[in-house]
Structure 1
Amino acid sequence: MNVLQPLIEQRADPHIYKHTDGYYYFTASVPAYDGVELRRATSIRDLASAEPVMVWRKPDTGPYSDLIWAPEIHFNQGAWYVYFAAAPSREIKHDLFQHRMYAISCKDANPVTGSWTFEGQIDTGIDTFCLDATTFTHKGVLYYVWAQKEEGIRGNSNLYIAPMKIPTEIDGEPVRLSIPEYDWEIIGFWVNEGPSIVKHGGKIFMTYSASATDENYAMGLLWADENADLLNPASWHKSKQPVLRSSPKHKIFGPGHNSFTKAEDGVTDLLVYHARTYTEIEGDPLWDPNRHTFVKTLKWDDQGMPVFGDAALDD
């Protein structure tokens, strides 16, 4: 058994994308929540020492000038996009959590050194707190998946999916796939957030995170057949138990907000997630910077289901 060490310290909500150019691209929430930072390397290990570059920084005031959260970098339809959430400046917002989702784009080959354009808000048609967007393409359709609060449903956020017209605009009405409902999803906060997609063995898997961002944070799982109608909630199955949670024995707490990538062999699936190494958080967990990026091997059982294992072990 190999007890994991952080790949990159103080980077929460980590997202690693392996591109066709042979590079891995990394982005995550930075402790100051003040912009979008990228780095790249030809191996997972070398991301730790790669130079971070702030490719977009928040304005001082306005509707997207505070708390830049959970950026993800994707290459969609011939260009780079980073999707992220941002809140209004303190002068105009009514409370802390009024995030909406935004995107920036880059047409250059190297997004770390390239020129980025602010594309504006990704409007879901629901004007409420929303965040944690991801995208994936299946059978030629680009899908947008995210977390959002919906009036009339208890909790902070649910999971939604919609097809996209273009990489910055959804097509049609959002479809709700999951709400916080099980005991492990509603500790501290009623949350389903941080969705991420991985395909394997004829199925599409969607992980997500739930509960407060302390040691109770844990990961759940939805899955659908690859030939099913992904916009029909009945196509998706939901695990009643978390698939990854704290490992107190090895001092890994609150694993979650994950992404997936491939190892250097191009075959092995890797799970990328953040976690803390202690539980004694002073003040609001939001401002504790020590959620670190971890990477471990994702295994599969004989039925084609993912095996996440212990959050502290790469076994």
Structure 2
Amino acid sequence: MIGGAVVAAAAVAVFAFVRFGNGGSPDMKADHFYNPVVENGADPWVIQQDGFYYYTHTVGNAIQIWKSRSLSEISSGETATVWTPPDGSPNSFDIWAPEIHWINGKWYIYYAADNGQNETHRMFVLESVTDDALGEYKDLGQITDPSNKWAIDGTVLQKPDGSLYFIWSGWEGDTNVSQHLYIAPMSSPSKISGDRVEISRPEHDWELIGQPTINEGPQVLMSDKKINIIYSASGSWTDDYTLGMLSADPDANVLDAASWKKHPLPVFAKTDDVFGPGHCSFVKSPDGKEDWIVYHAAKTSGSGWDRNVRMQPFKWNDDGTPDFGSPLSTKTAVPLPSGEDGRKRLEAENAVYGGMKVSDMAEASGGKAVGGWTGGDSYVEFQIEAEKKGLYVLALRYLNEGAVEQNLRVTINGKLKIDAKLDNGFNGQWSNEFIPVALQEGSNTIRFTGGDEWLSLDAVDVLPPQNMEKDR
């Protein structure tokens, strides 16, 4: 909750699709963003291909792909549900951790699923019918090694010589005692051609928190000096979910367990206000100059599987292993990926508002935020002038210090009304809500009403339709 003097001002943004109006306050391009980048999601996967980012995460009952030109704006990308499971099949339920890979001129999607019983979880693969990642896929069925044991979180290692290997998390036997990491050779992107080899099992204290004990979510991260596998360890429902690392030399026999060295400490772990960081993927910035980790984290301590998706840049050590640093707080401004144009931000303190208050807040993007909501009588209003009509996304950054969800009504041009639910207070965790809105060409009035005294509004980033991205 914040306090201060009542203030009113007009906010009108300026960019290729949103312009200043006369007398508007100087809301301009911002060179940073705040996590999370996806408000609700787990097991994020991002791949860059032909100038686009393709993103997916666990939906549970289908596979959905997002397509975006901007890494930090994946939540506003074009999206399609590319596959839904058939009824009564081994892959009809609990569709987890999909990954989309471009291999030998086709898209392949690997995912885990079961028949409604967890012990039947296995890995499956889809193959694209066209070269459109958001297009049609055919189901090639299960992908498995001869043991055919419980399996999730499959991914592909492709060495520079073109050889393929499947890596996944599975049970040693037929009961849920411990999840280990396995690797096996592939004869094609849809077939495993040999026995599995165990390359990791939980053994260090930081891998043994929660029962059953877990190594899962393996991801390949290669440099010219090392083949690294970054994996998740300990219970995913705990605050102590963390990332570990295996490394092998580039010319090593990756099917020999002795080739893999496990690092004795986690490489990305919880902090005082980031909990359960895990299940990651890696991608370059738009200009290829930076490396980024995309991962999920618990929304707050104790929230278990209630998670969101975050991203930040990382560096490399001299030995070819990554240096991820520590996961950044939701209070921390993250520089935009190199090569991304500045995003367009409307600061709440520059808006027109009634029955509201503004005060200094060091964690707000402009150093100020607006609060003091009194339900239906209070409002914050922005004026946006769009050069083209389209479906935009409003990234609403807020702090909810209450114990319950907040309900805001978003009114567009006095007619269209959208109800937005803002998460309950996560122990001082700032968050983002991504609200799609249809804007008409010309002037648009966006009004937020509702909320209570525990809600503070920092700013609204206006993310344009992705098909306009080139013209910004």
Which residue in 2 is equivalent to 1:67? 94
1:23 aligns with 2:52: yes
Question: What TM-score results when the alignment is normalised by the length of structure 2?
Answer: 0.60
**Is the CA contact (8 Å cut-off) linking 2:149 and 2:174 kept in structure 1?**
no
Which residue in 2 is equivalent to 1:193? 216
Amino acid at match of 1:158: H
Which residue in 2 is equivalent to 1:295? 311
1:36 is aligned, of 29, 47, 63, to 63
Q: 1:34 to 1:221 in 2, by over 3 A?
A: same
Q: 1:80 to 1:15 in 2, by over 3 A?
A: same
Residue 202 of structure 1, CA deviation: 1.6
Amino acid at match of 1:24: Y
**Is the CA contact (8 Å cut-off) linking 1:78 and 1:107 kept in structure 2?**
no
1:125 is aligned, of 146, 149, 169, to 146
Residue 293 of structure 1, CA deviation: 1.2
Which residue in 2 is equivalent to 1:116? 137
Once the two structures are superposed, the pairs formed by residues 4-23 of structure 1 within 5 Å of their partners are 4-19=34-49, 21-23=50-52
Tell me the alpha carbon deviations over residues 198-225 of structure 1, each in whole angstroms, 9 at most, x when there is no partner. Answer: 1113211100001111212110000011
1:229 aligns with 2:253: yes
Residue 4 of structure 1, CA deviation: 4.8
RMSD between superposed Cα atoms in Å: 1.9
1:83 aligns with 2:105: no
**Is the CA contact (8 Å cut-off) linking 2:37 and 2:73 kept in structure 1?**
no
Which residue in 1 is equivalent to 2:393? none
Residue 66 of structure 1, CA deviation: 0.9
1:50 aligns with 2:77: yes
Aligned-partner SS, 1:63: coil
Aligned-partner SS, 2:258: helix
Aligned-partner SS, 1:184: helix
Aligned-partner SS, 1:120: strand
Amino acid at match of 2:35: Q
Tell me the alpha carbon deviations over residues 242-286 of structure 1, each in whole angstroms, 9 at most, x when there is no partner. Answer: 1111122xx2210101111111121321111100221233xxx4x
Residue 155 of structure 1, CA deviation: 3.4
1:164 aligns with 2:186: yes
Q: 1:236 to 1:154 in 2, by over 3 A?
A: farther
Q: Distance in 2 between matches of 1:44 and 1:260?
A: 11
Amino acid at match of 1:226: P
Which residue in 2 is equivalent to 1:307? 323
Tell me which structure has the larger Cα radius of gyration: 2
Q: Distance in 1 between matches of 2:35 and 2:99?
A: 23
Amino acid at match of 1:182: H
Q: Distance in 1 between matches of 2:246 and 2:157?
A: 15
Which residue in 2 is equivalent to 1:104? 126
Aligned-partner SS, 1:230: coil
Which residue in 2 is equivalent to 1:267? 289
Residue 153 of structure 1, CA deviation: 9.8
**Is the CA contact (8 Å cut-off) linking 2:124 and 2:142 kept in structure 1?**
yes
Q: Distance in 1 between matches of 2:58 and 2:200?
A: 24
Residue 9 of structure 1, CA deviation: 1.6
Which residue in 1 is equivalent to 2:231? 208
Amino acid at match of 2:309: T
Question: What TM-score results when the alignment is normalised by the length of structure 1?
Answer: 0.89
Aligned-partner SS, 1:82: strand
Structure 2 stretches lacking a partner, 5+ long: 1-31, 336-472
**Percentage of identical aligned residues:** 37
Residue 11 of structure 1, CA deviation: 1.5
2:277 is aligned, of 255, 263, 285, to 255
Q: 1:88 to 1:153 in 2, by over 3 A?
A: closer
Residue 64 of structure 1, CA deviation: 1.1
> Please, which moves more after superposition, 197-206 or 68-77?
197-206
Q: Distance in 2 between matches of 1:303 and 1:57?
A: 43
Residue 152 of structure 1, CA deviation: 9.0
Amino acid at match of 1:202: K
> Please, which moves more after superposition, 302-311 or 254-263?
302-311
Aligned-partner SS, 1:312: coil
Q: How many residues align?
A: 297
Structure 1 stretches lacking a partner, 5+ long: none
Amino acid at match of 2:91: Y
**Is the CA contact (8 Å cut-off) linking 2:145 and 2:193 kept in structure 1?**
no
Which residue in 1 is equivalent to 2:421? none
Amino acid at match of 1:311: P
Q: Distance in 2 between matches of 1:252 and 1:8?
A: 16
Q: Distance in 2 between matches of 1:65 and 1:158?
A: 24
Moved over 3 A (4+): 152-155
Q: 1:292 to 1:42 in 2, by over 3 A?
A: same
Residue 87 of structure 1, CA deviation: 1.2
Aligned-partner SS, 1:244: coil
**Is the CA contact (8 Å cut-off) linking 1:23 and 1:40 kept in structure 2?**
yes
1:240 aligns with 2:270: no
Residue 301 of structure 1, CA deviation: 2.3
**Is the CA contact (8 Å cut-off) linking 2:229 and 2:247 kept in structure 1?**
yes
